[in-house]
Chains A and B, each alone.
Chain A
């Protein structure tokens, strides 16, 4: 996030796109709702009329995967009616002409035809966005989990720069991160192209720096593989040893049948986890890990805030902190790593190596955490980025992008769109929430959410078992008939193994980020003749 949760309560206007905040980030949603109650405007763009839409002035029920068309349409109106922030565009951005030329191709009529939104509503939305300043844009995986995910993100940034909503409190581009420490894992360089603090592995200077600090004679120069490439590498035998730390890939990746074939092909599979799960079935060795609250450490949230995690309980049996396990493996390769606690590792290595984290030390984050960039120990941390329109690269660059449809669209055989995500009462593959008293009682099985019109047309009753099939698999699941879902859409989550949406999801990836298109594939639904469960 460029901005902070603390600004939500004072924000004047929100544009929430591709984010089912009340279920996926419930506490963040409470601050949005508080602001709306105090008079802030809210525009929600989402194929589903989810709970936050009830608080919105406008709900744009766009077609799945049509975000760029909608955003380009909004920018078309802003430019045509000269409602954009001319001063910001002139002083703080470049390539505006390129953007103008591209969005010229997206008049409201065309944007509306692609997205299914009335052209008048697109015009009205653009005018409202221009009327209030600043506007905060929040998005989640509804933007990124598409074959055009990277372009979706770029479009959101284009819109905010055009509106001049960057570099100010209560504005900005705010992706709500899906997992507690996905921001931190990125910051730590658990990425194939960067070291901790986003220093490129291809930069000789950065390589030298880390080489010297780690006391090694060489570091690899080539950018490594991303997860889908690793998985494919297993079958091709290009990747022979695969080390999975705290991920249940057999349930979380699209096209489970394909994923399991890949995992089965691994020559040597190491899993490090707190529970045996669908992925450890393929492992050659499993290390028992300490869980949350069983060792000290830090998490970094969506707003770049590094906060403490503390020990409450001892890990069971022989389970050990993960950093200890990695250290022990390094020792067996002849490297003795000096530091022997999370605090030592943070204070003496991470914060020394990553310039943006330089001022964050355990002693400073006993209470509230600090938000990076925090370059020195007298720096208070940074609530919002690009202050006054000063971007890291100098001027903000418009990167105009065309709309592209999802990789798989409905046809005669698979006439419905399947979109997937999370529900409130569970988290991912339920390895954790499925073992918490009470949460299974609040949600005990998966459903396929369908619209009342589709249900009526197909004589499907609420709670009735239906079969949902795609080119990759089929599941039997209860139908949940709900007004949240528009006609033609099926919506499912991936919390339960037997009818996990990932049996159906399409392993088509964004060409740049290799993020899978979890949000769009084509499925068919059929009424089950008997109420027996099972595939």
Chain B
């Protein structure tokens, strides 16, 4: 097996592995804004730089490992090179999130204009939950001094689920990878007609006219505030939420969800990265179909029908009444005069209890559910 050196450690690798993959396996963190795990490398953000003894600065994401390479993943030169790449990205868009630093030039006119545009005047909706902002902080990057010649555009809010604010897009292409290589819906692609790369719809001008199926994988992939979950926008800050892992309540795939819970309420749902079986992926229902539980129409009290109308009663009354009626019927007609249907949406423990109630208590096997449909 061939080997190379990473931070002076001799490391074996599989032919075809990239430096980023090798480092990832060794838990050596290389910052990247454009690489999306499980997809092809694009190398566009230029942040994942590492020093190679003979070749100088190289991108870890698309540099194939070679026998005898001598890689260094940190050091003044590496940090300076990464900082420069980060600053270039900050200057391309509306990233005036209080990180400009003490540059004399301050924010660019473009950044100030973008901030004045309708709906993007607000503080960035992902402030505090932004990979770019994290790297700006870590590398103390400063904005300003770059050309910003691309078209200005107001955020696209013309669909029920996804806010697209191209003024905050860094052109990293992760959403396009998510759409084309992960979910394979082929709804968006990189579009150069904007003066630089941004992800736009392949068909039609809005997502609703395109092949988009609103799985929201692009939101999960976006490292900045360009793609935001409309239902979750401005409702939470990262330090306010508890992340609760659970299983999706819809189809039989059983996707693992990361509920973002604030004050006892789900404010956002994401896929659990690397979890079985969905590997971080969700569909439209898994990502956006959670708020039914907060509907005002939920049944809040037991009810009993009296003279044709429902009357709210206490649990004691409802349970006593039900048990009495069941006892009468079983006494008069035998246990098989009772039948029940369990719920294929509810938890295992509920179905177990229900069949136990029917068998051990009522003494009938008349228990079924929609098993075959």
Tell me which residues across on chain A come within 8 A of B345, comparing CB atoms: 179-181, 246, 292
Q: Which of B285, B298, B343, B359 contacts A219 (CB 8 A)?
A: B359
Task: Please classify the interface of chain B as helix (H, G, I), strand (E, B), loop, or mixed, using the class held by over half of its residues.
Answer: mixed
Interface string of B147-184 (1 = CB under 8 A from A): 00000000000001100000000000000000001111
- A140 CB, min distance to chain B CBs, angstroms: 9
**From B298, which residue of chain A is reached at the shortest CB distance?**
A316
Q: Which of A149, A185, A288 has the most CB of B within 10 A?
A: A185
Q: Which of B281, B285, B345, B355 has the most CB of A within 10 A?
A: B345
Q: Which of A181, A246, A268, A275 contacts B297 (CB 8 A)?
A: A275
Tell me which residues across on chain B come within 8 A of A192, comparing CB atoms: 365-368
Contact B184 A308 (CB under 8 A): no
Contact B329 A284 (CB under 8 A): no
Contact A224 B349 (CB under 8 A): no
Contact B249 A180 (CB under 8 A): yes
Contact B300 A346 (CB under 8 A): no
Say whether B307 faces chain A, with CB atoms less than 8 Å apart.
no
Q: Which of A186, A285, A318 contacts B300 (CB 8 A)?
A: A318
Say whether A66 faces chain B, with CB atoms less than 8 Å apart.
no
Tell me which residues across on chain B come within 8 A of A182, comparing CB atoms: 252, 344, 369-371
Tell me which residues across on chain B come within 8 A of A316, comparing CB atoms: 298, 300
Contact A218 B363 (CB under 8 A): yes
**Distance of A337 Cα from B326 Cα, bound (Å):** 19
Contact B322 A239 (CB under 8 A): no
Tell me which residues across on chain B come within 8 A of A270, comparing CB atoms: 322
Contact A350 B349 (CB under 8 A): yes
Tell me which residues across on chain B come within 8 A of A425, comparing CB atoms: 214, 284-285
Q: A179-B344, A332-B323 are in contact. Are A323 and B365 (CB under 8 A)?
A: no
Tell me which residues across on chain B come within 8 A of A516, comparing CB atoms: 373
Q: Which of B214, B292, B320, B364 contacts A224 (CB 8 A)?
A: B364
Q: A225-B366, A308-B245 are in contact. Are A144 and B299 (CB under 8 A)?
A: no
Contact B365 A223 (CB under 8 A): yes
Q: Which of A184, A244, A332, A427 contacts B341 (CB 8 A)?
A: A244
Tell me which residues across on chain B come within 8 A of A439, comparing CB atoms: 160, 284-285, 288-289
Q: Scan residues 118-135 of chain A and give those whose CB is less than 8 A from a CB of chain B.
A: none
Q: Which stretch (B8-16, B70-78, B194-202, B258-266) binds chain A?
A: B258-266
Contact A245 B342 (CB under 8 A): yes
Q: A27-B283, A190-B355, A439-B284 are in contact. Are A184 and B348 (CB under 8 A)?
A: yes
Q: A244-B341, A328-B315, A439-B288 are in contact. Are A268 and B329 (CB under 8 A)?
A: yes
**Distance of A312 Cα from B336 Cα, bound (Å):** 39
**Distance of A322 Cα from B181 Cα, bound (Å):** 41
- B32 CB, min distance to chain A CBs, angstroms: 21
Q: A25-B252, A240-B337 are in contact. Are A247 and B370 (CB under 8 A)?
A: yes
Contact B323 A299 (CB under 8 A): no
- B41 CB, min distance to chain A CBs, angstroms: 16
Q: Which stretch (A193-201, A393-401, A456-464) binds chain B?
A: A193-201
Interface string of B326-351 (1 = CB under 8 A from A): 11010001011111111111111111
**From A37, which residue of chain B is reached at the shortest CB distance?**
B184
Say whether B293 faces chain A, with CB atoms less than 8 Å apart.
yes
Q: Which of B161, B259, B286, B295 contacts A275 (CB 8 A)?
A: B295
Contact B369 A190 (CB under 8 A): yes
Q: Scan residues 127-158 of chain A and give those whose CB is less than 8 A from a CB of chain B.
A: 141, 144-145, 149
Say whether B319 faces chain A, with CB atoms less than 8 Å apart.
yes
**Distance of A66 Cα from B343 Cα, bound (Å):** 31
**From B305, which residue of chain A is reached at the shortest CB distance?**
A284
Q: A179-B345, A298-B349, A302-B253 are in contact. Are A424 and B368 (CB under 8 A)?
A: no
Say whether B256 faces chain A, with CB atoms less than 8 Å apart.
yes
Q: Scan residues 469-483 of chain A and give those whose CB is less than 8 A from a CB of chain B.
A: none
Say whether B250 faces chain A, with CB atoms less than 8 Å apart.
yes
Q: Which of A249, A292, A319 has the most CB of B within 10 A?
A: A292
18 pairs, CB–CB < 8 Å, chain A vs chain B: A4-B277, A5-B277, A26-B284, A34-B184, A149-B372, A180-B248, A185-B348, A190-B342, A308-B246, A308-B247, A312-B265, A313-B293, A318-B300, A322-B347, A322-B350, A432-B289, A436-B290, A439-B285
Listed from nearest, the 5 A-B pairs whose CB atoms lie closest are A317-B300, A301-B254, A297-B347, A246-B343, A177-B252
Chain B interface (Cβ < 8 Å from any Cβ of A): 160-161, 181-184, 208, 213-215, 230-231, 244-256, 259, 261, 264-266, 275-278, 281-286, 288-295, 297-305, 310, 314-315, 318-323, 325-327, 329, 333, 335-373
